[in-house]
Structure 1
Amino acid sequence: MSDSNSSCSPDLPGNFSTIFGQTDVAQWEALLTIVTLTLIILVTIVGNVLVILSVFTYKPLRIVQNFFIVSLAVADLTVAILVMPLNVMLSILGRWVFDIHICKMWLTSDVLCCTASILNLCAIALDRFWAITDPINYAQKRTLKRVLLMIGGVWVLSLVISSPPLIGWNDWPEADEFHLIQECKLTERQGYVIYSSLGSFFIPLFIMTIVYVEIFIATKRRLRERAQASKINAISRNQSALISNKEAQHDRESVSSETNHNEQPETNGKPKDKKKKTKKKRKDDNVDNNAYLKPILVHEDSLTDNPETSSISQRRGSNPCTSDNHKITVSESTTVSNSPQLNKVLLPEATATVKKPGVVYQFIEEKQRISLSKERRAARTLGIIMGVFVVCWLPFFLMYVTIPFCPSCCPSKRLKNFITWLGYINSVLNPIIYTIFNLDFRRAFRKLLGMKP
């Protein structure tokens, strides 16, 4: 073993006699710990299995970007199955009761699965960043092959980070010595600690922070632009009402002019010319009005991956804007903003030639309301994503990096266990955070659990 922690006295097995034998904690504490940690394991397994089944069984979720969510769920599921149960045993007994080979495989699985979970979070962040900043081009690049390659890269990189101790970069004892100390813990080789902590946490944390800050800024910018567009639509509505009034007035004047024309003879065709000018002016007014009818462009690949397309399509089925009598189309060159970073997908039905502007405004405002609501929810979710990730994993990696370089730092077993399980809890929360804000996932969960939609 490395002597980097030699000033700390070794933790001795506890002397509590319980139904589980000699344990590190009292019997009541052992029972409470087992019940609590077992519940955490079960919730982790059920939650991540539901996520995986939802993507493969619920048609609206069978899209390529959701394979990142599946990969994350697989990583978290392996943490719950391969890592957590043996840690429960170690937390209660205070010693390792199996041989060194099982210890090595358990520690390797721990690093592998937890690293894969964190790197999958990083891959999801990058995927959403590209989808938001360059949606049109990235939509073409986001193929099944590309997504699977990225997921494969996550798992290969996790294996590269977790495997060096198996080939000698460790301070594990020999089998005879291990049998005496019965202690199974991560290697404290300083070089490997720096290598693994950078690859497993600190570099992904840096990338995720930069990416989510950029997404947050882009979201705020889009909210401002859409709010401005909403004001333009309100002004356009007022102008449309004024134009309609003018047209009614022109109609009355035309009727009056035609009446006077019937009573008076034509002089050099002037009344006819005046009528043509009136029609031309009305046509120009309609052109000017249509210039203000710039629809709000909705980006369906939201930050929380929650386009709610099914709910929109349901409303679209009963919306008068989509009926045969009110078909709406628009030129693809129509935009709300000149920002090149806000390339968005045009609404499938918008407006170029409009006979009933009120219907168009109703359609635009409905899309505007949905879009703004999604953006605000996405902005709030950013804080939850980063906050939970940092709270769960930062304490563990600070402890992991500090102990090999601080001989006098000797955290107790209870503190080590608490910090370790705090990191594991991230695997419980991931399926909640990444699906609870998604309407389709909620519907899929209800369907799988036999609940009413």
Structure 2
Amino acid sequence: MDNSSLELESCTTMRNQFSRIFLYSFFTIGIVSTVVGNFLVVLSIAYFKQLQSPTNCFVMSLAVADCFVGLVVMPYSMIRTVDGCWYFGSLFCKLHSSLDVMLCTASIFHLSCIAFDRFYAVCNPLIYSLKMSQSRVALLITICWAVPMLISFGPIMLDLHIAGVDIRIPEDLCVFLVSRIYAVMASLVAFYLPMAIMLVAYWKIFKAAKRQALQINSSKKIRHRISMRRERKAAKTLGIIMGVFLIFWMPFFTLNIVDPFIGYTTKVVVWDIFLWLGYINSSLNPFLYGFFNRSFRRAFLMNIKQLLWGLSSHEDLSSSTVSSALHCLRHSLSTLSVGALSLMYSCILDVSSWIVASTLTSPRPPSLRLAYSLRVLDLGWNPPCMVRSFRVLTSVVCISSFGHLIIPAGYLITGSA
């Protein structure tokens, strides 16, 4: 979404050659990182079934919007910012402005949907699966794309966004001037309403997490405690993402409302700075997810290795994953407490999720592959908690393409609820 002051004379390139080369290099790095980072998010979720949760459906759609920001919006904005000119005609200027408004608004809408999804997951866990069905997720994603399209292409292509603004703009400039009414209404819909939804959702998540942390004690169900720790961590992560979103988009949308009321006197350089701050948000989202989410981090590593070296990276990942899980198991078996046994159960789940990932990334046909040896143990366990039985029986753990840890003698490591 771009705007400018009333400096509407024909463009002249004011920057020297060194400045232009530096700025083009700097912006190109940002564009490439935006496209590649968001493409890896899309690829990871599409490729790994264990990442295909309702929340990650929103994340995937968000990454698509951010990827298109890097592909079709940022390159032309870069040329306009560096050269101070528009070389592509007035019709493409309208199209570019429409895509800019639509994709940036869609990105913001998806962040509010992610916050809404986390609110239900943390505050209403018993009805979450009912509320966040596949059809409802699809409906919300459709809204995230349809509403931005309505407030962008229609008004801009029909010049409704400058109704009442009597200013002639040269064809060699692409200046997105807006009327007071459009500035207020579009900013409310595109930014302030989603921001309000996110603030309310994260505030309620914070209060619920704090309340539940006080209520949960050693007598509570083990799996519930593990689940709540996971949800609180996710809420903190998404809260950081929202904080970044506010820092990078708030200046632009504040100025977007103020500028029409002060006679469009804001300097072009100020608009450019605030505009590119907003674009940076699209660049940072995939790195925030990759840094805070272990599953995404593993998927990123697999995809990067496959894209750069054409290798199947599950073998490298298997060693560290299984070794850490077995270290966890040995610690649990040495204590045999209820808490340690729950830790042992979570370790098996961790190895199982690696199995799914390795199966999906393996180019070879279904087979059994030797992973690690376990010490002999026959443990019967039936505490009054959600995990009613757990049995580990020896020998050698093999990894099946069907996603099980199998003892060659025919026994299966299980944990039933």
Which TM-score bucket, shorter chain as reference? 0.5 to 0.7
Deviations 1:168-226 (A, max 9, x none): 303399xxx65x45221223211111111111001111111111111111111122223
**One-letter amino acid of the structure 2 residue matched with residue 215 of structure 1:** I
CA distance in 2, matches of 1:136, 1:197: 36
Find the residue that maps to 1:421 and give its secondary structure. Answer: helix
TM-score, normalised relative to structure 1: 0.62
Larger radius of gyration: 1
- Equivalent residue, structure 1, for 2:291: 436
Find the residue that maps to 2:54 and give its secondary structure. Answer: coil
Percent identity among equivalent residues? 37
8 Å CA contact 1:13, 1:94 repeated in 2: yes
> Equivalent of 2:251, from 395, 399, 410?
395
- Equivalent residue, structure 1, for 2:11: 13
- Equivalent residue, structure 1, for 2:57: 67
Q: 1:378 to 1:105 in 2, by over 3 A?
A: same
TM-fit CA distance, 1:12 = 6.0
8 Å CA contact 2:122, 2:231 repeated in 1: no
**One-letter amino acid of the structure 1 residue matched with residue 240 of structure 2:** I
CA distance in 2, matches of 1:70, 1:211: 20
**One-letter amino acid of the structure 2 residue matched with residue 13 of structure 1:** C
Q: 1:9 to 1:110 in 2, by over 3 A?
A: closer
- Confirm or deny that 1:123 pairs with 2:88: no
Which structure 2 residues correspond to residues 161-200 of structure 1 after superposition, within 5 A? 161-162=151-152, 163-171=154-162, 178=169, 180=170, 182-200=172-190
CA distance in 2, matches of 1:396, 1:113: 15
CA distance in 2, matches of 1:219, 1:416: 39
8 Å CA contact 1:172, 1:187 repeated in 2: no
Segment drifting more, 183-192 vs 409-418: 409-418
Find the residue that maps to 2:69 and give its secondary structure. Answer: helix
TM-fit CA distance, 1:449 = 1.3
CA distance in 1, matches of 2:290, 2:212: 24
Which structure 2 residues correspond to residues 19-418 of structure 1 after superposition, within 5 A? 23-162=13-152, 163-171=154-162, 178=169, 180=170, 182-226=172-216, 229=217, 233=218, 293-298=219-224, 368=225, 374=230, 377-378=233-234, 380-407=236-263, 410-418=265-273
8 Å CA contact 2:65, 2:106 repeated in 1: yes
8 Å CA contact 2:69, 2:282 repeated in 1: yes
CA distance in 2, matches of 1:96, 1:181: 7
**One-letter amino acid of the structure 2 residue matched with residue 67 of structure 1:** C
CA distance in 2, matches of 1:294, 1:191: 55
TM-fit CA distance, 1:71 = 0.7
8 Å CA contact 2:10, 2:172 repeated in 1: no
8 Å CA contact 2:161, 2:178 repeated in 1: yes
Q: 1:382 to 1:402 in 2, by over 3 A?
A: same
Count of aligned pairs between the two proteins: 303
Q: 1:204 to 1:67 in 2, by over 3 A?
A: same
TM-score, normalised relative to structure 2: 0.67
Deviations 1:223-275 (A, max 9, x none): 2223xx1xxx3xxxxxxxxxxxxxxxxxxxxxxxxxxxxxxxxxxxxxxxxxx
8 Å CA contact 2:10, 2:173 repeated in 1: no
**One-letter amino acid of the structure 1 residue matched with residue 15 of structure 2:** V
TM-fit CA distance, 1:377 = 3.6
CA distance in 2, matches of 1:42, 1:377: 30
Find the residue that maps to 1:415 and give its secondary structure. Answer: helix
- Equivalent residue, structure 1, for 2:397: none
Q: 1:106 to 1:181 in 2, by over 3 A?
A: closer
8 Å CA contact 1:50, 1:448 repeated in 2: yes
CA distance in 1, matches of 2:232, 2:132: 25
CA distance in 2, matches of 1:127, 1:33: 39
> Structure 2: which 5+ residue stretches go unaligned?
306-312, 318-417
CA distance in 1, matches of 2:198, 2:93: 32
CA distance in 2, matches of 1:202, 1:11: 33
CA distance in 1, matches of 2:185, 2:121: 31
> Structure 1: which 5+ residue stretches go unaligned?
15-22, 234-292, 299-367
TM-fit CA distance, 1:375 = 5.8
CA distance in 2, matches of 1:61, 1:219: 23
Q: 1:375 to 1:170 in 2, by over 3 A?
A: closer
Q: 1:146 to 1:402 in 2, by over 3 A?
A: same
TM-fit CA distance, 1:129 = 0.7
Q: Bigger relative contact order, structure 1 or 2, given CA contacts below 8 A and separation 6+?
A: 1
Q: 1:218 to 1:63 in 2, by over 3 A?
A: same
